[in-house]
Structure 1
């Protein structure tokens, strides 16, 4: 989408076309070209492209933004945008009424959430994304809370602001960047603002290596409905840092957090018992598996594998539970016999610590039956095992 097409969308004619397209359930990616040809008989080419893209992106954005039908995106900006529930959680790191800076603000996924309780200076180098942010702020009634600036923020000073948030670019030529010093800008850029801004956060890749976390920063992992969505580094004046925290959010509005204790004893080891538990991915990345195991009297199969077990069923927002129906040392022939006896015709395969792929196992089993079964491939103190489980 180009700026000219986006500006046209804000006109009365553009708003009318968007409204008409929003009610057209037949529009999709597959017939984009057909709609383009039809609409270009009545509207400029750039206007048609902008209207069709916006309509499709708004539909895709519903999974992230409850207000998606009012907002504007580019495709890349939507893919990179923080889900609204995650951004709304993050705003609580900052005191209500604070003056904040959002660096690399894009179309406003974070700035709009921060502006619910604070005033925000939103900075980016992309004029189209800033124009979209301006329109998005107006749509949500937040124009008075957000100031917009087009600039290379690495050269700016932010004395007088209470907090700062940055979302650096973590991809180059479509490939994910793991080294935080190869982000754009490098994470070390934050150091220049430490003496000016008392608290700042930086979005990082959820797979950030432990040795890439700068000294003095806390690291927070956030999941939403069981999916790991984001990781964020936090620095605050006067605090030592070094904490790892798991935050578990749900679409229903629940919020649970767990701070890993680096002095926590390792979890006990056990063979599979009556129940299997899989920790939330935020718990795993926060290195808090032993914490939850010891709190709930659970054991691990293997010290290197994030599966837990117990004889009793426990309920926790940090765990997903299965009933273990049977388990055995991995043996393809014996497993096939067991599944055939159960009349299993289709399997769902989960794995952790196993070199076998689900596709490979399904093919080798050659099953014919009328029932389904979930299998878990993992290790028991270094040895391969398979569990037959049922989700609870």
Structure 2
């Protein structure tokens, strides 16, 4: 889809076509017939652009919910866009810290996910996007929600922007190339060092990074926040200047219909104690593990680690926490397929969930070998204590 085809979607004919396609069946089985029927009444390029947009909107619901049906996307823009729940969480910090004063310069705004979230929160700004088509899509998204008076988008090179006059900078450098994901922060587009330098010239800043960013890549004085949504770590962000909190590391867990739960580093807290397995096993949320805050969760649970290198907490206390999922331990045994299979049968195991941490075995092959046929739901946790592979048979607590 080129810019001309996309601009055609914004015309009355294009809008009518999008509405017609939105009410039609555009799955793979009927796509060819739908396209042929529409091409008898509309230009082929416009039909192709509308069908592409309709299918992207269906995919976009996973990130944007019902709002996706009003939005515009490119395939790459949708892939790289921030999930709406995460963008709203970040926008709340911008809104709270800026308090209506000043605008945000958004470097590499993509289709405008974060720009939209901030504008919905009352924070204005300018998005900069290198690709002209993606910039046009972002502008159309602002218009779709009547937010063009608060924010705008212009084509440009993020690395060449001057933050002067803006209260803060937000940057989302590209982390994908034609060969796949980029893990080295200095291979981002633009490199992390470049966007940090630009953001550092504004009173406040936020740079979106991959959740696997090495802790040593976090600049001094910045706050690193890891965010999970629905139990899955989505991304991390580096907060700078007056947008940073007074903690070096933070884990945030987003929960539908509830306030975000956040956990911060406690500098005076030592490592958790080491102990034998107790009654319960807690699996820390991935954001907690990425943020190196397992000790903070263990302290809240009166917990310990069975192995200092493995992020499983064990405790005799059963306590509700958004930062870890509890399981009741039914059995602990050295790992051996025959022995584990026999123990699972003793526990009348039918539906089996297998989790592993620090265990190198092939889970799917093991599942076939275990052949559970009972009636109870169990959780098999595979880990190690020291050099000894260990299996724990658990149930949801």
Q: Secondary structure at the match of 2:219?
A: coil
Q: Matched residues in 2 for 1:237 and 1:352: separation? A: 38
Gaps of 5+ in 1: none
Q: How does 1:1-392 map to 2 (within 5 A)?
A: 1-24=1-24, 26-66=25-65, 67-94=67-94, 95-97=98-100, 98-116=102-120, 117-193=122-198, 196-236=201-241, 243-369=248-374, 371-392=376-397
Task: Out of 313-322 and 41-50, give the one that drifted further.
Answer: 41-50
Q: What displacement does 1:261 show?
A: 2.4
Q: Matched residues in 2 for 1:30 and 1:3: separation? A: 28
Q: Secondary structure at the match of 1:154?
A: helix
Q: What displacement does 1:35 show?
A: 2.5
Q: Secondary structure at the match of 1:258?
A: strand
Task: Report the TM-score, using the length of structure 2 for normalisation.
Answer: 0.92
Q: What displacement does 1:40 show?
A: 2.1
RMSD (Å) for aligned C-alpha atoms: 2.1
Task: Report the TM-score, using the length of structure 1 for normalisation.
Answer: 0.93
Deviations 1:186-223 (A, max 9, x none): 11113543563111111111111222223332211011
Q: What displacement does 1:174 show?
A: 3.6
Q: What displacement does 1:368 show?
A: 4.4
Deviations 1:13-54 (A, max 9, x none): 221221122223x32245433432332222222211211111
Checking the alignment, whether the CA contact within 8 Å between 1:349 and 1:358 is kept in structure 2 is yes
Q: What displacement does 1:57 show?
A: 1.4
Checking the alignment, whether the CA contact within 8 Å between 2:70 and 2:144 is kept in structure 1 is yes
Q: Matched residues in 2 for 1:42 and 1:387: separation? A: 64
Checking the alignment, whether the CA contact within 8 Å between 2:171 and 2:206 is kept in structure 1 is yes
Q: What displacement does 1:285 show?
A: 0.6
Gaps of 5+ in 2: none
Deviations 1:133-178 (A, max 9, x none): 1111111121100122111132221212100000001112142212
Q: Matched residues in 1 for 2:303 and 2:388: separation? A: 20
